[in-house]
Structure 1
Amino acid sequence: MNNSKALEFLRKAIRNRLEKEMKGNNVPDPEFHFEGPNGAELIRFIHENKLTTSEVIVLLLALVPHIDPGFFSGVISAYLPNGGDFPEFGGVKGKNHRGILPTGETVMYVLAGMDVEKRMEVSRYFEEDHVFSRKSVLYLERPGHGEPRMSGRLILDEEYVDLFTSGKISKPQLSSDFPAQRITTELEWGDLVLQEKTLSGIMEIETWLKYSDELLNGWQMHGKIKPGFRVLFHGPSGTGKTLTACLLGKYTKRDVFRIDLSMVVSKYIGETEKNLSKLFDKAANKDWILFFDEADSIFGKRTTVRDAHDKYANQEVSYLLQRIESHAGLVILASNMKANIDPSFTRRFNSIIEFENPDMAERIKLWKNYLPPVAKLDHKIKVEEIARKYHLTGANIVNVIQYAGLQTLGKNSKTILADDLLKGIQKEYEKEGKMMRLE
């Protein structure tokens, strides 16, 4: 059953309802058959989730505007020869979309007609424990203040629109509705040089990613332990916090999204909570890793309430704490200073991992890891000596090598000169307000 046959099934279901309600004809409900060609993602989803015929209708009602904008109007017009409104069917007009956009009222009419008891049962398709909600497939948009809940638009998640129409899911893009950006790395675990206690903490996260589902379900720990895993990475800039998050995603085959806090935090009352709600709603039931960099800008210590602004700032922190605690995935907060994070957050972390500045042995390994294998070093350069004298982080070392490498290429050479390397080190010291004596 391909998409055209699916729409024909939906068309028949709507017509049958119209025949019953408007003409009094007792026509049988159409039957849905779970079959289709290989690669039909819509049918595969229906089959894997064992959707009932009614659930299939709800799913198709949400999908059809993305395939055939005139679908609903075409079906209804035959039953309204003189035109006019049809409020029982529900639906709204969009800003750009010229057809009818289905609402919860549309679902009620198609599934239950005007049978009050059956109409009341329709709300179960939008409850939190239903597969549509658990897998973030579709939902009812919140209507205007004071309007009936079922008058909200029926929204199919963009990822499922992609999956059912093109056969693949596109990654969400940074926008006002999704204030996060996917981050990746080409590096490997061997490129990350960390102390043993830091690596031990990271292995704890890997263990959770691997066995959390079995712990909750196989060991029946639902309700006894909180869902999700909350981690604080703290330590100086450039010590590997972001790279670690990327590598965790890479080796557990999970997408990592870095939250753009500048797009989340708003000076307007209530907007920060709204932005956070969009983020966590989108991330619900996804195997994503949420990475809050420079997290103390929003997870910082709560202030003494002196005015309305302080009151609402504290409410934002409380709301964020609530959403993080209820999120079932991995959330990583990164901060340069642990002391900046509100204690009410630190008590709720499953793990707190410190990223320290590398010692001499670690700096030697970092230099050797990142120096390009095709380049030669000036005979004056002794990596061990450079690592002993100059206390740099991994990020600093990469910047130094980039600077020296560009200087070398600009001279049509493959030999990195000591002067260029030292100049690169000096630039890194100056950026951090440190003084360095060139030797």
Structure 2
Amino acid sequence: MNTSFHIPLQYLREYILGRLSLHFGKAASVTINADAYVHDSSPFARWMEEAQPDAGEFIALLLALAPHLQPGFFEDVLREYIPEGGDFIPFGGIKSLHHRGMLPTGETLLFVLAGNDPDKRVDLQNNLLQQSRFFRQGTLSIEAVSPGEPVMSGQLVLAPETLDYWLTGHVIHPRFSPEFAAEYITTDLLWSDLVLQENTLQQIREIEQWVMHHRTLLDEWQMIRKVKRGYCALFHGPPGTGKTMAATLLGKYTRRDVFRIDLSKVVSKYIGETEKNLSRIFDRAERKNWILFFDEADALFGKRTEIRDAHDKYANQEVGYLLQRIEAYDGLIILASNFKGNMDEAFLRRMQSVIYFPVPAAPERHILWNRAFPDKVTLSPSISLEQISQHHELTGSNINNIAFHCCLKLISDQRQELTAPDLQNAIHRELMKEGK
């Protein structure tokens, strides 16, 4: 094992044994040394050097880390005092569906740091869990439990991005799954590649300015007394007009990760599951200051009708839950819809920006056509991109699709010159696909 992990895990083992020795009356005290990690160049050591956790925080971090490196870590430690095995209730811990070893809980943390002393446990719960930046920022968390169960019986969890960094030196973006219905999106394009009408582009760049300067605006200039801490915008317009591209460019130029959530996929037929799906996304996003891009927003924010049955009632609850999380989000949220008219008017009034992405006009289409083909392609003299721009009302996505099929045909035919019939056939094919 990497020395950076061996030394602190050995220290954690010794400290837990010290707590057990105190519990069973074989010692008078137990001490913590928060500097029990190696000062080397490993990601773990660098992270600790920068974060500077205090003594209790360091133990909490190690408790959450241990089962990821040694699946039977806690069983091995407990065996020295409970050789026959079995549950040791004061120590807490749970078993999961797939992991065969013990996983630490909040009760584990309380016992290791405070033993069974109720006053110390209350102080620890109030101070460490409420005041520690590692819990406030989500580096550490206690999983929620069923109503009526002790709060601290939830699993003590280390944020996946922190674990990724400690192990690999890189933060791995969460993958799309039924449990995390958000997809990381990025782009290699530049602002200059976004071809929009000037008014639309100016409104997008105003959002960029907000992301870059909102901390100064809200905190230093005290505008927090008058405006919300977060920002919510609606991008609306036909498909293929640049809504997703604009969102990814905002992320790229403000150095924020962008995650796309397709609300048509998040909304669950099972009562209560939509809120759980959204909660997982927001909990992660709030820790990492992501830009959240909700696609197909009218799937959840469409015009509401009167409540006719239980399904309508719970659908309204889902909208209410998402509105609550959006209102509380300290960052940028973008909702996208093909039709503004589908959106609930009461919700639209909550938007700081409502930006229309129209089908490109002829001048914008001419720019898009000129950029569509790679340098290897030569256009026949009979092709007039200006005339094509005037005659065919196409989006940037349409034009890219046409260029793609043209290039594929040229490669297949082993030639580089694009003829007018080639281009017209590809345009006809795209228009047919669009039902035009």
Equivalent residue number for residue 399 of structure 2: 397
Provide, for residues 390-431 of structure 1, a one-character-per-residue CA deviation record: whole Å limited to 9, x for no partner: 111111111111122222222211111111111111122222
**Cα distance 1:77–1:268, how it changes in 2: closer, same or farther (>3 A)?**
same
Q: Distance in 1 between matches of 2:374 and 2:26?
A: 80
1:57-116 deviations in Å (ceiling 9; x for gaps): 111111111011121112111112444431111111222322211111111110111111
**For residue 51 of structure 1, what is the aligned residue in structure 2?**
53
Q: Please tell me whether the aligned partners of residues 43 and 169 of structure 2 are also in contact (alpha carbons under 8 angstroms).
A: yes
Q: 1:298-377 residue pairs with structure 2 within 5 A?
A: 298-377=300-379
**Given residue 320 of structure 1, which amino acid in structure 2 is its aligned partner?**
L
| Letter of the structure 2 residue corresponding to residue 190 of structure 1 | S
CA distance in 2, matches of 1:13, 1:369: 64
Which residue of the other structure, out of 124, 141, 162, is the alignment partner of 2:164?
A: 162
Task: Tell me: CA distance 1:191–1:292, structure 2 relative to 1, closer, same or farther (3 Å).
Answer: same
Which one of the candidate residues 18, 21, 31 is aligned to 2:20? Answer: 18
Distance 1:80 1:391 in 2: 77
CA–CA distance in 1 between the matches of 2:318 and 2:417?
54
2:203 is the alignment partner of 1:240: no
The counterpart of 1:284, out of the listed 268, 283, 286, is 286
> Given the superposition, is the C-alpha separation of residues 36 and 61 from structure 1 closer, same or farther in structure 2, using an over 3 Å criterion?
same
Greater Cα shift, 219-228 or 407-416: 219-228
Partner of 2:268: 266
Q: Which residue number in structure 2 is paired with residue 109 of structure 1? A: 111
Describe how 1:27-106 pairs up with structure 2 within 5 A: 27-33=29-35, 36-106=38-108
Contact 1:235/1:337 (8 A) holds in 2: yes
1:415 corresponds to which residue? 417
Give the partner amino acid of 1:375.
V
Normalization by structure 1: what TM-score? 0.93
Distance apart, 1:127 and its partner CA: 4.8
* Residues 222 and 277 of structure 1, relative CA distance in 2, 3 Å threshold: same
Structure 1 CA distance for aligned equivalents of residues 320 and 111 of structure 2: 40
C-alpha distance in structure 2 between counterparts of 1:138 and 1:125, whole Å = 14
Question: Alpha carbons of 1:20 and 1:127: their partners in 2 closer, same or farther (altered >3 Å)?
Answer: closer
Q: Report the equivalent of 2:173.
A: 171
What are the superposed Cα offsets for residues 124-145 of structure 1, whole Å, 9 maximum, x if unpaired?
3675664123322121112234
Distance apart, 1:327 and its partner CA: 1.3
Cα pair 2:106 2:142 within 8 Å, conserved: yes
Distance, in Å, in 2 between the alignment partners of 1:35 and 1:77 is 25
In the alignment, what sits opposite 1:437? none
Q: 1:295 aligns with which of 285, 294, 297?
A: 297
Tell me if the contact between 1:107 and 1:122 (Cα under 8 Å) persists in the aligned partners: no
Q: How far is the alpha carbon of 1:218 from its aligned partner?
A: 3.3
CA 172–84 in structure 1, closer or farther in 2 if over 3 Å, else same: closer
TM-fit CA distance, 1:225: 3.3
Q: Once superposed, what is the RMSD of the aligned Cα atoms?
A: 1.9
Contact 2:233-2:354 within 8 A present in 1 as well: yes
- The residue number in structure 1 matching 2:144 is 142
Residue deviations 1:303-338 (CA, integer Å, cap 9, x gap): 211111111111111111111111112111111111
Decide whether the 8 Å contact of 2:264 with 2:296 is kept in 1. no
Identity, in percent, stands at: 49
2:8 and 2:36 in contact (8 A); partners too: no
Task: Name the stretch that deviates more: 28-37 or 270-279.
Answer: 28-37
- CA–CA distance in 2 between the matches of 1:316 and 1:199? 33
Cα contact 1:93–1:101 (8 A) shared by 2: yes
CA–CA distance in 1 between the matches of 2:307 and 2:131?
38
Gaps of 5+ in 2: none
SS of alignment partner, residue 334 of structure 1: strand
**CA 1:358–1:256 in 2, change beyond 3 Å: closer, same or farther?**
same
The alignment partner of 2:184 has SS state of: strand
Q: Report the CA distance between 1:9 and its aligned residue.
A: 2.0
Q: What amino acid does structure 2 have at the position aligned with 1:403?
A: H
Q: TM-score of the superposition, structure 2-length normalised?
A: 0.94
Residues in 2 aligned to 1:359 and 1:28: alpha-carbon distance in whole angstroms = 74
Instruction: Tell me by how many angstroms 1:387 deviates.
Output: 0.7
User: For structure 1, which runs of at least 5 residues remain unmatched after alignment?
Assistant: 435-439
